[in-house]
Structure 1
């Protein structure tokens, strides 16, 4: 069961969020060099993960990203507030063994979030969150990165900018002021609904903090 995917460009490693045999959150990884030499026609079996770690929190993984030697792993909750956890990695880009308890990795930090977060990304000094639930409009929430401040939460009221977008937005990636967005509405299930806008490609959006009507600035 896949709950998120991210790439660690510093250590050339792909991370995938899964669940273990006890149905709790874990993450597994495979180096880029193993992916590059993988040949399904020759091997005829799935590529093997090289490392796997069980997490103490959250119990389920809804979304995940890598940023500055940390994995940020969050939980989606459609009613109550969600949670975001940070796991600091060692010099090799793996989980620290001294941050384990009962075989579970312990997060170094955690924050409360808005209840319907589907994706997360970092770009320069900004944090980007996508929110979506049902056939209502999605939202892109942009925060100035203040995660180092005590008692700071990624709630809807704290967003520096809110952008309304079509329903079913999922994963997002921010890079150099541009945001790449992937929508679930192009899947076969949602294509059966003629009243729904089907976004069947990756959408790129360029965002500037100044000059938007719904910005706090």
Structure 2
């Protein structure tokens, strides 16, 4: 009897240990939320110091030179801490009440003259997606914008002509973009309302499989679909202002047609695994990444020569980047670069893991 009790005891201990290890593994991989006592979005760096970041980026000479060796520029002026990587104040998606998320994963990036916008989704899908708003000059965190539901929010684009922030989303199985007016963004206060922000417009995109990333160039919105197995597409839509049936001014992507859905004016071919796109003068830049096992790539194309095919064979320049490269954004002569490796589920896998947005001079980055 004693021997049986001993075996049972060891069996129970084994089950408990296995349960603990499983819990740790699932937490580490972002499958479940971590325990936290935080009550607001964290604003401090979640990973190492600037010196540790510089050491990690030393294996990427083009990026290192542009970020840290620009004459007359303090390297700290070229980095922006991504908030919320340890704790983000948002809504619990099911219970619709304020809650802290510990698995937010950054995806989209946009910049205007005053702000940096960074979108993120909850890895466990328990919490509403958010957009972090940072002051452009200082990099200080201003607030989080809580979105309606759990969109991946893989792309952001700021439209200076209409003072709108475009955000990729989905409606069921249909790709979608939504807009937030700058006026509404500045007035929004989640701590006061505990409700998601109201969208200015929402437009379905039936002709593209998924709206993975976007950019605004002139009067056009470009929407690309991420495909990790084969070449994909980039759609171009003309942004216009019109009135709906009630006489309300709305923003449309298909002049003269429905304001609730849009079809592209042009379709270009792009390579696989594209996470971001941005224009600089007459060049198109595409960011590529797919997991932890491969370096990312920043590709540059001469748009004057290539008007329909932006696949690898036509790239004029390729720059190797750390893994988990996400969206890029151009402002003037500067390129802002976002990685998702600062998110808790990925931070043990990056090469290195990066919890900052990097800003570089484009000409320095592509200098020979």
TM bucket normalised to smaller: 0.7 to 0.9
What is the rounded CA distance, in whole Å, between the counterparts of 1:80 and 1:148 in structure 2?
Answer: 19
1:208 shift after superposition? 2.9
Contact residue 78 and residue 115 of structure 1 kept, 8 A: yes
1:32 shift after superposition? 0.7
The aligned runs of 1:15-54 (5 Å cut-off) are: 15-20=166-171, 22-54=172-204
CA distances 1:75-124 after superposition (whole Å, capped 9, x unpaired) = 011111010000111146532352449x6311000111011110011122
| TM-score, scaled to structure 1 | 0.87
What is the rounded CA distance, in whole Å, between the counterparts of 2:236 and 2:340 in structure 1?
Answer: 26
1:147 shift after superposition? 7.8
2:8 counterpart residue number: none
What is the rounded CA distance, in whole Å, between the counterparts of 1:120 and 1:112 in structure 2?
Answer: 13
1:105 counterpart residue number: 262
SS of 1:172's equivalent? strand
What is the rounded CA distance, in whole Å, between the counterparts of 2:285 and 2:367 in structure 1?
Answer: 18
Change (3 A) 1:15 1:202: same
SS of 1:167's equivalent? coil
Contact residue 238 and residue 255 of structure 2 kept, 8 A: no
The answer on 1:164 being equivalent to 2:320 is yes
1:215 counterpart residue number: none
What is the rounded CA distance, in whole Å, between the counterparts of 2:154 and 2:336 in structure 1?
Answer: 19
The aligned runs of 1:189-204 (5 Å cut-off) are: 189-193=345-349, 196-204=351-359
2:363 counterpart residue number: 208
Contact residue 287 and residue 327 of structure 2 kept, 8 A: yes
Contact residue 5 and residue 17 of structure 1 kept, 8 A: yes
What is the rounded CA distance, in whole Å, between the counterparts of 2:197 and 2:329 in structure 1?
Answer: 25
2:224 counterpart residue number: 74
Unpaired stretches in structure 1, ≥5 consecutive residues: 213-217
CA distances 1:45-65 after superposition (whole Å, capped 9, x unpaired) = 111002111112212111111
SS of 1:34's equivalent? helix
Change (3 A) 1:177 1:159: farther
What is the rounded CA distance, in whole Å, between the counterparts of 2:255 and 2:356 in structure 1?
Answer: 41
1:8 to 142, 155, 159: 159
CA distances 1:141-190 after superposition (whole Å, capped 9, x unpaired) = 111223884xx301111111111111110011123332211111111112
SS of 2:346's equivalent? helix
What is the rounded CA distance, in whole Å, between the counterparts of 2:320 and 2:333 in structure 1?
Answer: 18
| Structural RMSD (CA) | 2.2
Unpaired stretches in structure 2, ≥5 consecutive residues: 1-150, 243-250
| TM-score, scaled to structure 2 | 0.53
2:277 counterpart residue number: 120
What is the rounded CA distance, in whole Å, between the counterparts of 2:164 and 2:302 in structure 1?
Answer: 27
Structure in which a larger fraction of residues adopt strand: 1
The aligned runs of 1:47-66 (5 Å cut-off) are: 47-66=197-216
What is the rounded CA distance, in whole Å, between the counterparts of 1:121 and 1:114 in structure 2?
Answer: 15
Structure in which a larger fraction of residues adopt helix: 2
What is the rounded CA distance, in whole Å, between the counterparts of 2:170 and 2:157 in structure 1?
Answer: 16
What is the rounded CA distance, in whole Å, between the counterparts of 1:175 and 1:47 in structure 2?
Answer: 26
1:89 counterpart residue number: 239
